[in-house]
Every structure is written in C-alpha cells, then in structure tokens.
C-alpha cells in the first residue's frame, strides 16, 4: 500500500458529506465545493451531515477513509442492510443525488434501531472510491487502498458484532472499475467475498454508448455481451 496513507474508520470529527470526484478533501475544503449545475451543495450538506452523524452515533461508523496527512484520498461508504431496504429510501443512498437516488430528506429523523435489536446484522457497502477517478492523474488507484479499506471494514465489523458484509459487483472490466463505485467481482473475491446472488441490472441491458463500450471490453476478454449486465451480490461471512 502507499507509504504514509492511513486507513481508518470515519469519525464524528470529520464527516465526509460529499464524495471525492473533484479531488482529495480536507476538513476545510469539504465545505467549499465548486459550483456544479447538478449539485445543490447546501441542500446536500443539510441532509447528509445529520444522517452521517446519526449513523456514526448509533453504529460507531458509516464509512472507512484513507488519509494522506490531512486529506481524505479514499472512501468506502457502508450502511446497515435494513437502511438500504427501508421502504421510503429504497436502494438510493448516494449522497450526491436527490431522492430517490439519494436518501430521503427526513431519513436522519427516523428511528435507527441499535445493532443489538437488528435481526439482520449485515452491512452493505454502498460505494467506494480511491483518489479522484474523474481526474486525469490518479496516484492513489491500484495501490491496494481499496482492498485495505475493505479489510479495515471487515476487522471493525467483526469486532463490533456485525455478522456479514455484502456488496454489489459487476464483471471485471476497466469501465466498471473506472466509474461504478462497485468494483469488479475479482476485487471482492480476492478479499474472501463469494457470489450469493446474480441478477440482471436493467440499466446495463440498454443500448447506449456506455453499454456498447462495456460489451467491447467484454468481447476483448472473451466474455459474452450478455454478461455485462450481470450484477453479483457478494457476501463475506464474519461469523466463522
């Protein structure tokens, strides 16, 4: 892994309420986003900070971060499984999206049962990112940071009484790693996760440039065009 980079659970002192698309963030720069036509930053901050603070208070953490000195250069967000399936929030928990792709505005005001009262003690990895994927130069990718964040999560989750970690994955194609925040199946398998369910992601069945590019990458690796739409639910059992 990169020398000097520390991987740790995100604490209440520095809540990363937006993502790293624009570059690494410090405690100061996180609150100074550049204007963006699709991102109402003040609205997102008002919604996200209380949500992250409450999750941290009730469960101890809701993200793993990689720190290069005072800058966050990697993030892994996770949520208890019940939160992902809460009727009104649906699967959308992206902090840089409006509801329903992002959390409902009142999500933080709802009751979050403590872990001891949760029937399903599974954590779900919502997304991960190392460095700033949209930037031309990314010195933080493919250096083991992503894997280190998952290992840190597994250690913490086991020590805190969670029974499993799940994540979605797709085929091991460059474009999947470049833009999805879910990684390829191999990334998770190397960390001990196993496929427990395979479903078809309708968005990856469409005829658009992204899907066509995925199919070209699949063909170059001898994979069928159909498989690019496969979404794998990966699971790591922590009870053994």
Ligand X SMILES: CC(C)(COP(=O)(O)OP(=O)(O)OC[C@H]1O[C@@H](n2cnc3c(N)ncnc32)[C@H](O)[C@@H]1OP(=O)(O)O)[C@@H](O)C(=O)NCCC(=O)NCCS
Binding-site ranges for ligand X (CB under 6 A): 127-130, 133, 141-147, 172, 174, 177-179, 181, 183-184, 186-187, 190
Closest CB to ligand X among residues 101, 109: 101
Closest CB to ligand X among residues 112, 170: 170
Closest CB to ligand X among residues 80, 146: 146
Min dist CB 146 to ligand X, Å, is 2
CB distance 107 to 46 below 8 Å: no
Min dist CB 156 to ligand X, Å, is 17
Closest CB to ligand X among residues 88, 179: 179
Closest CB to ligand X among residues 133, 192: 133
Strand order in the sheet with 122-130: 5-9, 63-68, 71-80, 122-130, 164-169, 230-237, 194-200
Min dist CB 128 to ligand X, Å, is 4
Min dist CB 126 to ligand X, Å, is 9
CA distance 237 to 235: 6
Min dist CB 60 to ligand X, Å, is 23
Name which of 159, 155, 150, 161 is nearest 186 in CA terms: 150
CA distance 44 to 221: 40
Tell the burial category of 179 from Cβ atoms under 10 Å away from its Cβ (0-12, 13-18, 19+).
exposed
Min dist CB 20 to ligand X, Å, is 8
Q: In a 3-state reduction of DSSP, which class is residue 232? A: strand
Quick count: other Cβ atoms within 10 Å of Cβ 225?
A: 13
Name which of 230, 233, 224, 124 is nearest 171 in CA terms: 230
> Where does 136-192 show beta strands of DSSP type E?
164-169
Closest CB to ligand X among residues 121, 129: 129
Run of H or E residues at 127: strand 122-130
Q: Nearest residue by C-beta to ligand X?
A: 146
């Amino acid at each position: 892994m990169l020398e000097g980079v520390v991987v740790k659970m995100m604490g209440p002192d520095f809540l990363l309420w937006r993502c790293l698309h624009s570059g690494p963030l410090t405690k100061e720069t996180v609150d100074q986003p550049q204007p963006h036509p699709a991102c109402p930053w003040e609205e997102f901050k008002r919604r996200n900070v209380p949500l992250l603070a409450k999750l941290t208070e009730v469960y101890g953490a809701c993200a793993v971060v990689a720190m290069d000195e005072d800058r966050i250069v990697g993030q892994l967000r996770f949520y208890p499984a019940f939160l992902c399936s809460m009727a009104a929030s649906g699967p959308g928990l992206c902090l840089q999206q409006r509801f329903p792709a992002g959390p409902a505005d009142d999500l933080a005001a709802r009751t979050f049962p403590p872990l001891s009262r949760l029937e399903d003690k599974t954590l779900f990895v919502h997304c991960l990112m190392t460095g700033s994927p949209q930037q031309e130069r990314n010195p933080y990718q493919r250096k083991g940071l992503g894997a280190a964040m998952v290992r840190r999560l597994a250690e913490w989750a086991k020590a805190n009484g969670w029974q499993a970690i799940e994540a979605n994955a797709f085929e091991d194609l460059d474009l999947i790693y470049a833009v999805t925040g879910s990684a390829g199946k191999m990334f998770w398998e190397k960390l001990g996760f196993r496929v427990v369910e395979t479903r078809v992601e309708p968005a990856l069945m469409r005829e658009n440039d992204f899907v066509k590019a995925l199919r070209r990458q699949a063909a170059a690796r001898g994979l069928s065009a159909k498989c690019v739409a496969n979404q794998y639910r990966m699971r790591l059992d922590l009870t053994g």
